[in-house]
Amino acid sequence: MGFLPQALREAGIAAGRIRTVAFTHTHLDHIHGLVLPNGEDAFPRLSRLLVPRAELGLFRDVARLERFHERAEPFEPGQFLGADIEALAAPGHEAGHTCFRVTSAGETILIWGDTIHVPSLQFDRPELTWEFDTDQERARASRMHLMAFAADNGYCVAGAHLDSPGVGRLSRKEKGFRFEPL
């Protein structure tokens, strides 16, 4: 929501080093991160822009991002975007909503986009949906699956709407889950 440049600086990541961007989905609060408030490109050396195939048309309908339309490449669930980055289907929030399983040095993190919107409620009650879920039944099923998958395998999770620091681990708790921030 406009804080990506600041978050990158805090993490010690120079935006000019980023050459690939992969979207979990194409909602405006995600894809508009390609453009800085002053209208300049957020990633000046961007050479690869990956968009879920099911949402490529939605991305190309956004006039403000016209200069990126031809650079956008579709990807599919199950596809490896790099040696250690696999796209996993997580539909419901949007038709092509995707999670990325990233593995490095024996650790795995699920970058799960908008799987959770209201952490204070949805970890305890993962069955609760959100008005911005395009298909609430599928979003619920995806959330339940991803949360169990992460908890049962000891994976870290990272999401756009998780409380700071936005990264943690899950464990099972009664009918829900417990989120332990890292």
CATH of the domain at 123: 3.60.15.10
Q: What is the mean pLDDT of residues 79-97?
A: 96
Q: What is the mean pLDDT of residues 12-21?
A: 96
What letter does residue 64 receive in the DSSP assignment? G
Same domain, 47 and 137: no
Same domain, 20 and 36: yes
- The pLDDT score that the predictor gives to residue 104 is 96
Would you say 168 and 176 are in contact if contact means Cβ atoms under 8 Å apart? no
Domain extent, residue 164, equals: 77-182
What distance in Å separates the CA atoms of residue 52 and residue 46, rounded to the nearest whole number? 17
Q: What is the pLDDT of residues 108-139, one digit of tens each?
A: 999 999 999 999 999 999 999 989 999 999 99
What distance in Å separates the CA atoms of residue 86 and residue 105, rounded to the nearest whole number? 16
- The pLDDT score that the predictor gives to residue 1 is 61
Which of 51, 75, 99 marks a domain boundary? Answer: 75
Q: In the chain, what percentage of residues exceed pLDDT 90? A: 88
Same domain, 104 and 165: yes
